[in-house]
């Protein structure tokens, strides 16, 4: 009985091993085919995804370029309009007091700046910060010029005071910002 039992166990073991080997003969090649197919399809889909992403970026860049150019133009115009020498000539009214003229100049600068706030999304942070700095420094220049005048000074007196201060500074922040913007846009093309 002992050898019959061993024989039966061995027979069951052999049948089980044969079945496992047959299953592995079918499963392993199937797994290899699946893994190869998965790898090839993944590589192909990743390549197509990268290609599509590059196309979308290129299209976005092409559609964004006119807006960016327009933004640079508008900011340069803003800087021209807030340049103290241009601003004084544009805003001056005959017979206006220095205090009223100071208020008009500062208001004109703030309105110009507010009108062009959205342009900051199209230019670099450095360019926009220089633009903001030019606005603030121009307002400061006007306020300093006004603070040096007597209370009964005229708008013409304020104009002269602004031009005197302007002549004393090495670099007007408005000119610095304009030069930076011009250099930055040249890099785009």
Angle separating helix axes 84-91 and 2-82, nearest 10 degrees = 60
pLDDT tens profile 9-54: 766 777 777 777 888 788 888 888 888 988 988 999 888 988 888 8
The per-residue pLDDT of the chain, averaged, comes to 88
CB 128 within 8 A of CB 78: no
Query: Of residues 59 and 145, which shows the higher confidence score?
Result: 145
Q: How many residues does the chain have?
A: 189
Q: Which backbone phi and psi does 148 adopt, to 5 degrees?
A: -85, 0
What are the residues whose beta carbons fall under 8 Å from the beta carbon of 172, sequence distance 6 or more?
A: 83, 84, 166
Q: How far apart are CA 44 and CA 31, in angstroms?
A: 20
Helices (H), 83-94: 84-91
Domain ranges of the chain: 65-188
Question: Mean pLDDT across the stretch 61-80?
Answer: 84
DSSP symbol at 156: H
Question: Mean pLDDT across the stretch 121-132?
Answer: 94
Considering only 40-54, 58-72, 85-99, 106-120, which range has the smallest mean pLDDT?
Answer: 58-72
Q: How far apart are CA 84 and CA 33, in angstroms?
A: 75
Q: Which backbone phi and psi does 172 adopt, to 5 degrees?
A: -75, 130
Going by pLDDT thresholds of 50, 70 and 90, the confidence category of residue 63 is low
Bridge partner list, 154: 97
Q: How far does CA 112 lie from the centroid of its chain?
A: 22
């Amino acid at each position: 009985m002992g050898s019959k039992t061993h024989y039966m166990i061995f027979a069951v073991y052999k049948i089980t091993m044969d079945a496992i080997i047959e299953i592995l003969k079918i499963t392993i090649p199937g797994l290899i085919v699946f893994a190869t197919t998965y790898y090839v399809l993944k590589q192909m889909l990743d390549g197509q995804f990268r290609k599509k992403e590059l196309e979308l970026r290129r299209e976005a860049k092409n559609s964004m370029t006119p807006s960016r150019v327009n933004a640079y133009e508008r900011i340069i115009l803003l800087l021209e309009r807030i340049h103290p020498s241009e601003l004084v000539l544009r805003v001056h009214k005959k017979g206006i007091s220095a205090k009223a003229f100071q208020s008009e100049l500062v208001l004109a600068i703030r309105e110009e700046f507010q009108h062009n706030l959205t342009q900051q999304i199209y230019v670099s942070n450095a360019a926009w910060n220089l633009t903001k700095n030019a606005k603030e420094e121009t307002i400061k220049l006007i306020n300093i010029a006004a603070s040096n005048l007597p209370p009964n000074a005229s708008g013409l007196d304020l104009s002269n005071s602004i031009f005197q201060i302007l002549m004393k500074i090495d670099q007007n922040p408005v000119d610095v910002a304009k030069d930076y913007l011009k250099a930055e846009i040249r890099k785009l093309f």
